A and B are shown apart, each in its own frame.
Chain A
Amino acid sequence: MSAVLAEAAEPRDATAPAALLEAIGLGRRFRGLAAVDNVSIDVRVGEVHAVIGTNGAGKSTLINMLSGELAPSAGTVRFGGDDVTRWSQPRRARSGLGRSYQRTTIFAEFSVLENCRLTAQASEPRPWRIWERAANDARGIAVATRALAAAGLDGDAGRIASTLSHGAKRQLEIAMCLATAPRALLLDEPLAGMGAEETGRMLALLASLKPTHAILLVEHDMDAVFKVADRITVMVNGQVIASDVPERIRNDVAVREAYLGDGH
């Protein structure tokens, strides 16, 4: 463990781009229990940074603090050079921090297109223009159509979202996120409950988004994580026990003991 930490602390390549999203010493206590304890993590544009760990390791709490849904008890969150620790979630979202949820959270009764048009509306809401029809919102529809195409849902724009398959709903969730034009994506188990084919499609989507986005991925599917991640951070009991490139995580003794299991 100490070896891994020492390596992670080495100064980075000077040519590496600065982190877009960065947490420094982040902590959150629930009634004295440290759900997340002194976690520092960063994500750069052009990389997928995966966070793995058992249930209760604090991954969701971490994502909620990064997205602004949960106020940290300690530490700082920086996004695009700003200290956003005190920013509300909507404000962070408007400045380009998008997230998806572990449980599918789409607007089930709206059309697929309206799901994305509505999230696209957040960046130019103009709510007082009540004489303008949302159905004729050309900018929103254009943004939504592009987001649906990027997520591979072009053919489903007119369907009611609740009628989509589970995998397509997860894709829609990403499309809704993309429609807000985010610079960073916080993805909470986007592969949960997906079949092999759907997983392959989602991983291809993540790969296509990587060059232009900073992606923080919380995921349980280890095969997928090792396939797609550029860096992996391992959490146990609210703490980071290792953070490195996939090959070294795979061979880290502490990680194997704590999480992966020797058979992996």
Chain B
Amino acid sequence: MASDAALVDAHAEVGALPDIGRREAGGWLVPAAAAVALAALPLVVSPYAQDLIVRIAIYAIFALSLELLVGATGLVSLGHAAFLGIGAYVTVLASGDSGASLALLVPLAMGGAAAYAIVVGALILRTRGVYFIMVTLAFAQMAYFVVHDTKAGGGSDGIFLYAKPTLAIGAQTLLDLGQRLPLYYTVLVMLVLTYAFIALLLGSRFGHALAGIRVNEQRMRAAGFSTTPYKLAAFVVAGALAGLAGLLLAVKDGAVNPELLSWHESGAVLLMLIFGGIGSLRGAVLGAVAFTLLKELFQSEALLGSLASHWQLTLGLTIIAFVAALPRGLIGLGARVRDLARGRAAGASP
């Protein structure tokens, strides 16, 4: 129910967002400072907190990849988890019993997700609005049931990743993702690269063309843009980046199961965007942070006792409250506070 209400809202908002290429306060300094702080954190926080940060960072990559579709291009997908799941399953299947090199797994996971995105995108990108949402969901469910009902992927139980990936030159192992710190820094570097790549993309002519398609696709066609290849390119890049998030998630958890491809996962990442603020890369990251922390909080039996088993309800209600109070998401918090303060000041002095 929570996701339904939020979905409709997101779709109505997508057409009326500020230019995604706009300068945000602090420019590059804010994300750069955040990355430096994250790099220093393992020195002071517990292994449990490090694991949590890794999970958040992976979901931030996943959310950023969807932001390229939803916020930048105006394509609201409810099937993005398919690409996450494909990236994860490709990673586990390609690793086998003896493990594989990260240099092999990254192109395989991203390529596998991109390949599915090409096929799906070519078939569905002529549909719009609610129809687009429904067909993305349909294709994700198709992938879900293929994984769920076939033996190769371990069926509904999923499969374990027996040997974590490594990166080696000759006999010298540079990275072993089976260890906590190498995994932490690998995920952090991937997040920074994903953020920087999407930011680069959005500022380029390609990114501006995507923004034009989001605002008025018909006008773009009238100007001479063949818009379908642009949308397909965005869809494939977003799918590949979601595949990267899937790889990292499989490595972190050491296992995959069909739920990675389920519509719950697609809905969750869409909620992260709505939560954080659609139309902003920082908002996507912020949404991943807030969503994952809140989920952690509401699932905690130590804190909430028996209420913890109803975490979907408490999380959903919280998100509804947040979205009602902050229609632009967490990223709009500053502007919202200023508006309220101004309104109060204006009300106090008639």
- A interface with B by C-beta (< 8 Å): 67, 69, 88-91, 93-94, 98-99, 101, 105-110, 114, 118-119, 121-123, 125-135, 137, 140, 176, 180
B16 within 8 A of A: yes
State the CA gap A114–B211 with chains docked (Å): 11
Q: Which residue from chain B places its CB closest to the CB of A116 in the assembled complex?
A: B223
A134 engages B216 (CB within 8 Å) = no
B206 engages A127 (CB within 8 Å) = yes
Give B219 Cβ to nearest chain A Cβ, in Å.
5
Give B197 Cβ to nearest chain A Cβ, in Å.
9
Q: Is the interface of B mostly helix, strand, loop or mixed?
A: helix
For B19, the chain A residues whose CB sits under 8 A away are 109-110, 114
Give B242 Cβ to nearest chain A Cβ, in Å.
19
B204 engages A93 (CB within 8 Å) = no
B216 engages A129 (CB within 8 Å) = no
Q: A114-B208, A125-B209 are in contact. Are A135 and B21 (CB under 8 A)?
A: yes
State the CA gap A126–B206 with chains docked (Å): 8
B305 within 8 A of A: no
Could you pull out 24 A-B pairs where Cβ atoms are within 8 angstroms? A89-B221, A90-B223, A90-B226, A93-B224, A105-B216, A106-B216, A106-B219, A107-B215, A107-B216, A114-B19, A118-B209, A121-B205, A121-B209, A122-B225, A125-B209, A125-B225, A126-B205, A127-B209, A129-B205, A133-B204, A134-B21, A134-B204, A134-B205, A180-B224
* Binary contact track B198-213/A, C-beta < 8 Å → 1, others 0: 0011011111110110
A123 engages B208 (CB within 8 Å) = no
For B220, the chain A residues whose CB sits under 8 A away are 118, 122
Give B39 Cβ to nearest chain A Cβ, in Å.
25
For A88, the chain B residues whose CB sits under 8 A away are 221, 226
Residue from A94, A110, A128, A131 with most neighbouring chain B CB atoms (10 Å): A110
Q: A105-B219, A108-B215 are in contact. Are A125 and B205 (CB under 8 A)?
A: yes
Q: Which residue from chain A places its CB closest to the CB of B22 in the assembled complex?
A: A109
B203 engages A133 (CB within 8 Å) = yes
A127 engages B16 (CB within 8 Å) = no
Give A163 Cβ to nearest chain B Cβ, in Å.
13
B223 engages A130 (CB within 8 Å) = no
* Binary contact track B28-65/A, C-beta < 8 Å → 1, others 0: 00000000000000000000000000000000000000
